[in-house]
Chain A
Amino acid sequence: MDLPAIPLLSMLKERMSWLNQRQNVLSQNVANIDTPGYTARDLKPVDFEKALKAATSPGAFSNTMTVTNPRHIALSQHAAGAFDDENTPDIESNPSGNSVSLEQEMIKVADTQAQFQAATNLYAKAIDMMKTAIGKTGM
């Protein structure tokens, strides 16, 4: 059994790559804080309920294409950087047309960091629980 096939772990992996990509977008905002005409961007939030349903529905494991030959290349469901981003001008915009608010970006960075921490902790916990189940107590 491969680990990514477990719904909880695959969801956490998805969450972590979403947070990773968000961090990329936020770092672009902060780097361009003095660029005239730059508009702040952010990732579109992922619908958690939809993701949960997709991960826990009975067909979740078989949502890859059936292949008639094991050597056929499976289509990857998610290309790298598949999450959409959008323009999200922060409240203020200075005379040069730059709409990045440093404070707001810092809050978003801290938020992303905390959520990433939560995801990795959950991941470690899930692995721990599995280890308990197979009888290997202690790390």
Chain B
Amino acid sequence: MDFSTSMTVAASGMRAQSDRMKIIAENIANANSTSATATGEPYRRQIATVKSEFDRELNATVVQSGKAVDDMSDFRLQYDPGNPAADKQGYVKMPNVNSLVEIMDMREAQRSYEADLTVMDASKSMLARTVDLLKK
């Protein structure tokens, strides 16, 4: 009986999801971070990546968070001539963060995290059942 494998795999999933949450939080926190100058770039949205990896020790496929990649989509333009970061036409480059997308991503991460937690709970109760056989 080896339930620690399934619990370790579920924990790897939870770690990957919380890393993803961190990146989503960075995006939301920086949704209005403009550059200080007209030539500079504002905050660029990060995209969290995950990759599966075979763990020889566990003999199972665990999941790991990969390097966050930049979202290369266009920046939003906002008309604000008084801003020091405004260009000649008076437009300021705003980060390419769409809060709706971020909220959706967040819900997805939350849901996956809960699923991992459910699996871990199930494994734990199965392990407890096996240990309970000793009481008989």
Chain A residues engaging chain B, CB cutoff 8 angstroms: 16-17, 19-20, 23-24, 26-28, 30-35, 38, 80-81, 102, 105-106, 109-110, 112-113, 116-117, 120, 123-124, 127-128, 139
Question: Which of the residues A26, A34, A80 comes within 8 Å of B6, measured between beta carbons?
Answer: A26
Not counting A19-B126, A20-B126, A35-B52, a sample of 10 additional A-B residue pairs whose C-beta atoms are within 8 angstroms of each other reads A20-B6, A26-B6, A27-B7, A27-B13, A27-B119, A31-B62, A31-B63, A80-B2, A109-B122, A127-B133
Q: Are A31 and B12 in contact (CB under 8 A)?
A: yes
Complex CA–CA separation, A109 to B119 (angstroms)? 7
A-B contact pairs, 21 of them (CB 8 A): A17-B1, A20-B6, A23-B6, A23-B119, A24-B9, A28-B62, A30-B13, A30-B115, A30-B119, A31-B12, A31-B61, A31-B116, A33-B112, A34-B20, A34-B50, A81-B59, A102-B112, A106-B118, A109-B119, A117-B126, A124-B136
A36 → chain B closest CB, angstroms = 8
Complex CA–CA separation, A60 to B112 (angstroms)? 45
Instruction: Give the 5 A-B residue pairs with the shortest CB-CB distance, closest first.
Output: A31-B13, A27-B6, A27-B9, A35-B52, A120-B129
Chain B residues engaging chain A, CB cutoff 8 angstroms: 1-3, 5-7, 9-10, 12-13, 16-17, 20, 50-52, 59-63, 108, 111-112, 115-116, 118-120, 122-123, 125-126, 129-130, 132-133, 136
Question: Which of the residues A23, A117, A128 comes within 8 Å of B123, measured between beta carbons?
Answer: A23
Cβ-closest chain A residue relative to B117: A30
A interface SS class: helix
Question: Which of the residues A23, A32, A116, A120 comes within 8 Å of B52, measured between beta carbons?
Answer: A32
Provide the residues of chain A in CB contact with B132, threshold 8 Å: 120, 124
Complex CA–CA separation, A120 to B128 (angstroms)? 10
Q: Are A123 and B133 in contact (CB under 8 A)?
A: yes
Provide the residues of chain B in CB contact with A33, threshold 8 Å: 13, 112, 115
Complex CA–CA separation, A84 to B122 (angstroms)? 22
Q: Are B126 and A23 in contact (CB under 8 A)?
A: yes
Q: Are A35 and B119 in contact (CB under 8 A)?
A: no
A72 → chain B closest CB, angstroms = 28
Cβ-closest chain A residue relative to B66: A35
